[in-house]
Amino acid sequence: MAKLYYEKDADAALIQGRKVAVLGYGSQGHAHALNLAESGVDVRVGLRDGSSSRRKAEEAGLRVLSTAEAAAEADLIMILLPDTEQKAVYDAEIAPHLREGDAIFFAHGFNIRFGQIAPPAGVDVAMVAPKGPGHLVRRTYTEGGGVPSLVAVAQDASGKAHDLALSYAHAIGATRAGVLDTTFEEETETDLFGEQVVLCGGLTALVQAGFDTLVDAGYQPESAYFECLHELKLIVDLMYEQGIAGMRFSISDTAEYGDLTRGPRVIDDHVRATMRTVLDEIRSGAFAEEWIAENRAGRGRFEELRRAGAAHPIEKIGEELRGMMPFIAAGRQRVQDVSGG
């Protein structure tokens, strides 16, 4: 098994000796900034002028500066801006303030892996990537826990970049859950693959296709919704807690037999071949190139696909059914409160 790092493996003093700038106050930004501050780290938040997050961050007791001021003042800069914005902000507001001995940190390897950002020699380049959304990074920390995280070093100018990354991970609570070494390549490629093939792309397409199949065969959309979407959470919770085998222990024998015999027919060799093609597009940089070009062109196709997805019949029936289950909507509200902006 790979080596995992826990609290005893980290030197808390390393990050406490740095001046840290957290750029961005969205999902990850608010969580890192608050956890670092509560772990005794000297942290400032860098935001663009007119940011709606300024008030939130100040009310939380954090010091807020402009992006450029924060980058200039700090000797460790954690970039928690949207991946598509990072290059422009780096070129204009971060790069001019980098000095020998500084460190640049990321929570995802996209811009380093695909060559969008190329920091100068003399600067440590590392990653601390929590394997969970920001609101969990924050909530688990306040509860005494943490979110497992990956650390990686792309450039070790100081010879201590890995220890520094581990110390940062410790300060956001990650060493309470486990920290795993990776590389910028592995993190970026597996992260994109996971979200495209399983977590987001594969899952949403599977749910929609199942729903469509039932509705097209004449079943009530309400039944199709409960079967193909609503129940998913119960199954995923079981898998999360006990693995696939544990989940199978909890379902009926009929469900389990159908699972074992029909699952591989749905996700067949053709689907597995498509997965490998999608992985090839990630590794060759073709996906990154396409996504960067889409952003440069104003995101027209992205917005069109988004609208089409929101217009799928499963959304309308889902909204009505969830309206009758206010306890579900309450959970969603809590997540929105802490992210974005």
Active-site amino acid positions = 108
User: Binding of ligand NAD at residue 149 (CB under 6 A)?
Assistant: no
Q: What is the CA 228 to chain-centroid distance, rounded?
A: 25
User: Binding of ligand NAD at residue 207 (CB under 6 A)?
Assistant: no
User: Binding of ligand NAD at residue 194 (CB under 6 A)?
Assistant: no
**Contact indicator for 15, 41 with CB cutoff of 8 Å:** yes
Choose which of 72, 83, 191, 314 interacts with Mg ion (CB under 5 A): 191
Picked from Mg ion, ligand NAD, none, the partner binding residue 27 (CB below 5 to 8 A depending on kind) is ligand NAD
Picked from Mg ion, ligand NAD, none, the partner binding residue 152 (CB below 5 to 8 A depending on kind) is none
User: Closest residue to ligand NAD, Cβ-based?
Assistant: 26
- Annotate each residue in 88-127 with x if it binds ligand NAD (CB under 6 A) or - if it does not, as one string: -x-----------------xx-------------------
Number of residues engaging ligand NAD in binding (CB under 6 A):
25
Choose which of 80, 94, 128, 150 interacts with ligand NAD (CB under 6 A): 80
User: Binding of ligand NAD at residue 150 (CB under 6 A)?
Assistant: no
- Give all strands of the β-sheet with 4-5 in edge-to-edge order: 4-5, 179-181, 149-155, 124-130, 103-106, 76-79, 19-23, 42-47, 63-66
CB of 129 to ligand NAD, least distance (A): 5
Q: What radius of gyration do the chain's Cα atoms show?
A: 22
**Contact indicator for 149, 174 with CB cutoff of 8 Å:** yes
Binding site for Mg ion (CB under 5 A): 191
Interface residues with ligand NAD (CB under 6 A)? 24-29, 48, 51, 53, 67, 80-83, 85, 89, 107-108, 129-130, 133-134, 339-341
